[in-house]
């Protein structure tokens, strides 16, 4: 049985019917991870710990105490702290770091015990590679080497959750967690032919998620279908008192609309999306978008239209400005968040220094990579006395305009459709010399983080070089279940999400 081509809902059925055990599934993926090291998708794997968890899952299953996800393996982005596995955020400054606790996401998905009674029972396969502290769009900023794209190893896997994307695309995990501060779930999902969702800000707890930009960071699943993502997001999301922006109304079944028609009570199976208005922002289809990406996304719109949806043009006039706004706010928050790395309580400490100040400085200088340093410098600058109003406050004010622009668009439509990125996965090294060129690649994903809206990526085609293209669906606040419904209906009508990279056996 090729379990890496199997949806997790089918895996759950096989587990419940005792056709396979969690230990067998876990060993199957551990073997694939061992054989698939060339992608550099994982930073830490510990077979002993994984099998300890799978044996607990098997006991729960035989005791009749299994939930929907019990026994299914999952890979965690290395930004989530985990007990047992190293937690490094792909930084040298956290090399070898062992967390004394699990992130809420890890606990919510993990094996239940006395201190974690609501764990979903999933088995951790290990920690996936990423851009250092989630800063990057190509995974080339990892201190532990870039991740290769399973569709073509000469190309990047995307970032920052590139390890999670490559792991699922190469069949080294059935599903993985990611985080998205400016597109880090959606863009690598698009680059690797996966489905991934970033929920509304506040839906998933940030506790134990190593912070990059706290007002933008959100976690979500990356998998092979909208249905799989709905299952895992439902288990990830919860109200958490340890995150001050966690929302009280976070726990819900995000899969509840999947197989329903858009309009309640409608039974027209040929037109399941009748009544749905899809907005195409004209700024998302303007100059700079690769023609084959534009073509695939436009065709996805037509498919959705054939399922009953109505397409309308909308406008998000500040789309281009989302880049400067983001690259002021995210570094500002990062410079503050990363001040905790001082070589005192955890993390790297320089071996030689003159005094305490010198120890901070040398530890940080040796521990952080080039992009992280660059963003700390930008952030420090924009928060300086004399620049704060012109940069930081101005960016926060434009952020309000960007959020309001979305509300104006959502008067005309229920869901927004556009590309995830201007182009497909680029070649390794192609953009890494020029940071600004890399930042411009984030143009279609940043604004939803600034506004805190849910958005997802789903495969919708390939370019002429057989590299995957993703479409982006953006919804209004707290409409994740509706986004997943639209994507699921699309995936019932198409098979892009079922395609496998030819280099993956």
Question: So which residues are the catalytic ones?
Answer: 77, 160, 184
Ramachandran angles phi, psi of 87, nearest 5° = -125, 105
Is residue 163 classed exposed, middle or buried when 0-12, 13-18 and 19+ CB atoms within 10 A define those classes?
A: buried
Nearest approach in angstroms of CB 358 to other proteins is 8
C-beta of 258 vs 451, nearer to other proteins: 451
Task: Using CB under 8 A, pick the residue from 188, 343, 369, 419 that binds other proteins.
Answer: 343
C-beta of 27 vs 361, nearer to other proteins: 361
Task: Using CB under 8 A, pick the residue from 114, 249, 352, 355 that binds other proteins.
Answer: 355
Assign residue 299 a region (left: φ > 0; alpha: ψ between -120 and 50; beta: otherwise). Answer: alpha
Quick check: helix, strand or coil at residue 416?
A: strand
Q: Could you give the C-alpha distances from 193 to 91, 167, 228, 425, in angstroms and in order?
A: 27, 12, 14, 10
Give the strand pairing for 455-462 and 468-475: antiparallel
Quick check: helix, strand or coil at residue 68?
A: coil
CB under 8 A: which stretch of 238-246, 264-272, 274-282, 306-314 binds other proteins? 238-246
Q: Are 320 and 443 in contact (CB under 8 A)?
A: yes
Binding of residue 168 to other proteins (CB under 8 A) = no
Residue 307: count other Cβ atoms within 10 Å of its Cβ: 20
Binding of residue 95 to other proteins (CB under 8 A) = no
Binding of residue 362 to other proteins (CB under 8 A) = yes
C-beta of 157 vs 382, nearer to other proteins: 382
Q: Going residue by residue from 96 to 115, which x/- string records binding to other proteins, judged by CB under 8 A?
A: -xx-x---------------
How many residues in the shown chain lie near other proteins by CB under 8 A?
71
Beta-bridge mates of residue 417: 473
Alpha-carbon distance of 491 to 270, in angstroms, equals 14
Binding of residue 345 to other proteins (CB under 8 A) = yes
Structural element, H or E, at residue 73? strand 73-77
Binding of residue 410 to other proteins (CB under 8 A) = no
Binding of residue 46 to other proteins (CB under 8 A) = no
Is residue 504 classed exposed, middle or buried when 0-12, 13-18 and 19+ CB atoms within 10 A define those classes?
A: middle
- What is the footprint of other proteins within residues 424-463 (CB under 8 A)? 434-436, 439, 450-453
Tokens encoding 472: 């982006």
Binding of residue 346 to other proteins (CB under 8 A) = yes
CB under 8 A: which stretch of 142-150, 157-165, 242-250, 462-470 binds other proteins? 242-250
CA-CA-CA-CA torsion for 135, 136, 142, 143, nearest 10 degrees? -60
- What is the footprint of other proteins within residues 264-323 (CB under 8 A)? 318, 320-321, 323
Nearest approach in angstroms of CB 314 to other proteins is 19
CB under 8 A: which stretch of 48-56, 298-306, 334-342, 461-469 binds other proteins? 334-342
Tokens encoding 504: 């993956």
Task: Using CB under 8 A, pick the residue from 133, 201, 207, 284 that binds other proteins.
Answer: 201
- What is the footprint of other proteins within residues 377-406 (CB under 8 A)? 377-378, 380-382, 384, 390-391, 393-401, 403
Q: Could you give the C-alpha distances from 186 to 316, 421, 456, 473, in angstroms and in order?
A: 19, 9, 6, 10
- What is the footprint of other proteins within residues 468-497 (CB under 8 A)? 477
- What is the footprint of other proteins within residues 107-166 (CB under 8 A)? none
Task: Using CB under 8 A, pick the residue from 356, 493, 498, 505 that binds other proteins.
Answer: 356
Q: Going residue by residue from 245 to 264, which x/- string records binding to other proteins, judged by CB under 8 A?
A: x-x-----------------
Binding of residue 244 to other proteins (CB under 8 A) = yes
Ramachandran angles phi, psi of 117, nearest 5° = -65, -20
Binding of residue 9 to other proteins (CB under 8 A) = no
């Amino acid at each position: 049985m090729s379990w890496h081509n199997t949806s997790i809902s089918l895996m759950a059925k096989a587990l419940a019917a005792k056709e396979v055990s969690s230990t067998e599934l876990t060993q199957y993926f551990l073997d694939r991870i061992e054989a698939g090291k060339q992608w550099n998708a994982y930073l830490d794997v510990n077979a002993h710990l994984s099998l300890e968890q799978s044996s607990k899952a098997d006991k729960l299953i035989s005791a009749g105490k299994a939930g929907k996800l019990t026994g299914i393996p999952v890979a965690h982005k290395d930004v989530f702290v985990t007990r047992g596995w190293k937690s490094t955020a792909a930084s040298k400054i956290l090399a070898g770091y062992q967390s004394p606790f699990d992130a809420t996401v890890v606990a919510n998905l993990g094996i239940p015990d006395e201190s974690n009674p609501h764990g979903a029972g999933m088995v951790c396969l290990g920690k996936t590679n990423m851009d250092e502290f989630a800063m990057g769009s190509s995974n080339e900023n990892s201190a532990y080497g870039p991740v290769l794209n399973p569709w073509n190893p000469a190309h990047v896997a995307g970032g920052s959750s590139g390890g999670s994307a490559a792991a699922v695309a190469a069949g080294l995990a059935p599903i993985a967690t990611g985080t998205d501060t400016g597109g880090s779930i959606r863009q690598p999902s698009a680059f690797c032919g996966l489905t991934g969702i970033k929920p509304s800000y506040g839906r998933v707890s940030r506790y134990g998620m190593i912070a990059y930009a706290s007002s933008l960071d959100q976690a979500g699943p990356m998998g092979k279908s909208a249905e799989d993502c709905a299952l895992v997001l439902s288990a990830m999301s919860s109200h958490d008192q340890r995150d001050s922006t966690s929302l009280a109304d976070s726990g819900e079944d995000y899969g509840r609309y999947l197989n329903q028609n858009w309009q309640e009570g409608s039974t027209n199976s040929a037109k399941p999306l009748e009544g749905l208005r899809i907005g195409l922002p004209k700024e998302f289809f303007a100059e700079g978008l690769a023609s084959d990406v534009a073509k695939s996304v436009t065709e996805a719109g037509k498919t959705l239209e054939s399922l009953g949806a109505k397409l309308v043009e909308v406008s998000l006039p500040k789309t281009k400005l989302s880049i400067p706004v983001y690259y002021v706010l995210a570094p500002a928050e990062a410079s503050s968040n990363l001040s905790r790395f001082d070589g005192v309580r955890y993390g790297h400490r320089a071996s030689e220094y003159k005094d305490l100040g010198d120890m901070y400085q040398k530890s940080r200088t040796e521990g952080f990579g080039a992009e992280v340093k660059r963003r700390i410098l930008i952030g420090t600058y924009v928060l300086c006395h004399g620049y704060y109003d012109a940069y930081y406050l101005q960016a926060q004010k434009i952020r309000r305009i960007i959020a309001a622009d979305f509300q104006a668009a959502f008067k005309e439509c229920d869901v927004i459709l556009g590309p995830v990125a201007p182009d497909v996965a680029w070649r390794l090294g192609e953009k890494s010399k020029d940071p600004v060129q890399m930042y411009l690649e984030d143009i279609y994903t940043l604004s939803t983080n600034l506004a805190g809206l849910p958005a997802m990526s789903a495969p919708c085609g390939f370019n002429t070089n057989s590299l995957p293209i993703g479409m982006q669906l953006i919804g209004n606040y707290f409409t994740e279940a509706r986004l997943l419904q639209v994507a699921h209906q699309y995936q019932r009508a198409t098979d892009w999400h079922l395609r496998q990279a030819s280099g993956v056996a």
